[in-house]
């Protein structure tokens, strides 16, 4: 099966600019996650979708970050305006909705804010 | 809230030597535990997971992990390391959410393999 697709792979922007990342999960996976991985740290969950509804966005900095999954398939994560501390790899993952299933991660988007 | 501690930031082993990566967790209920590997520029790949049953779990690439409830540990082992095993390894504990499980990751352990 095809994996989780993410684009772009790399992005460099200046602070205060906006940026958007795209994720296409594995076909049929109801659950989609966005993680932020800062260099030297483990991934931190930003938001979890179940189909097109938000299950958990408690760690999403809502003053600047937004995410949507309008048709319950692909998803977009946006940052506006970006700060230097947003430099990180943004990982998307998906999983089928059943107990015992694992997660499949995409290769991520590496964001550098200068 | 759940948490994961990986006490070793870096581990260096010689090719062919055995490996053990440490992981300790904190969670109020029966934990769901994972080990992931991340190669440079890549996403995370699931090595193995523990949900219930046998406390010794076999994974891909010759890895295994043992769940020890009394020690709150889930250490990853491999009897003979290959140069291609050099990567970042993440332990995670999963908390139920919305019919699935959300893993909380440790900071990772970087494995360096000497020829």
Q: CB of B105 within 8 Å of any CB in chain A?
A: yes
Q: Kindly state the average pLDDT of the residues B32-38.
A: 93
Q: How far is B54 from chain A (nearest CA, A)?
A: 14
Q: Give exposure, A41-66, as e/b (b: 16+ Cβ within 10 Å).
A: ebbebbbbbbeeeebbbeebeeeebb
Q: CB of B53 within 8 Å of any CB in chain A?
A: no
- Pick from A56, A100, A105: CB nearest B102: A56
Q: Kindly state the average pLDDT of the residues B19-28.
A: 93
Q: CB of B50 within 8 Å of any CB in chain A?
A: no
Higher pLDDT, A103 or B37: B37
Q: Kindly state the average pLDDT of the residues A23-43.
A: 92
Based on C-alpha coordinates, what's the Rg of chain A?
13
CA–CA separation, A34 and B48 (whole Å): 21
CA–CA separation, B55 and B18 (whole Å): 20
Q: How far is B17 from chain A (nearest CA, A)?
A: 26
Residue A95: pLDDT band (50, 70, 90) is confident
pLDDT of B53 reads 86
CA–CA separation, A10 and A109 (whole Å): 5
Check A95 against B100: CB less than 8 A apart: yes
Residue B102: pLDDT band (50, 70, 90) is confident
Q: Kindly state the average pLDDT of the residues B64-93.
A: 96
In the stretch 63-82 of chain A, residues with CB closer than 8 A to chain B read none
Check B100 against A97: CB less than 8 A apart: yes
Residue B40: pLDDT band (50, 70, 90) is confident
Contact indicator for B106, B90 with CB cutoff of 8 Å: yes
**For B42-58, what is each residue's pLDDT tens digit?**
889 999 999 888 899 99
Q: CB of B68 within 8 Å of any CB in chain A?
A: no
Q: Which residues of B touch A104 (CB under 8 A)?
A: 46
pLDDT of A82 reads 97
Q: Is B35 a residue whose pLDDT tops 90?
A: yes
Q: Is A99 a residue whose pLDDT tops 60?
A: no
Q: Is B111 a residue whose pLDDT tops 80?
A: yes
Q: Kindly state the average pLDDT of the residues B60-78.
A: 96
pLDDT of B95 reads 76
CA–CA separation, B57 and A67 (whole Å): 36
């Amino acid at each position: 099966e095809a994996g989780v697709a993410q684009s772009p792979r790399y992005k460099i922007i200046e602070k205060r600019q906006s940026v958007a990342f795209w994720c296409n999960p594995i076909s049929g996976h109801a659950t989609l996650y966005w993680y932020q991985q800062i260099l030297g740290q483990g991934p931190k969950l930003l938001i979890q979708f179940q189909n097109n509804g938000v299950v958990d966005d408690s760690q999403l900095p809502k003053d600047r970050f937004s995410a949507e999954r309008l048709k319950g398939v692909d998803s977009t994560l946006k940052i506006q305006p970006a700060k230097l501390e947003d430099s990180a790899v943004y990982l998307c993952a998906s999983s089928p909705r059943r107990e015992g299933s694992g997660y499949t991660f995409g290769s991520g988007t590496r964001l550098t804010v200068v | 809230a759940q948490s994961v501690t990986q006490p070793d930031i870096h581990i260096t082993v010689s090719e062919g030597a055995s490996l053990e990566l440490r992981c300790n967790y904190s969670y109020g209920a029966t934990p769901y535990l994972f080990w992931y590997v991340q190669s440079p520029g890549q996403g995370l790949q699931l090595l193995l997971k523990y949900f219930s049953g046998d406390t010794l779990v076999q994974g891909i690439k010759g890895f295994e992990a043992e769940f020890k409830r009394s020690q709150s540990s889930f250490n990853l082992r491999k009897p003979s390391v290959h140069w291609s095993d050099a990567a970042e390894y993440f332990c995670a504990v999963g908390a139920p959410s919305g019919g699935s499980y959300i893993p909380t990751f440790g900071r990772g352990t970087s494995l360096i393999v000497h020829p």
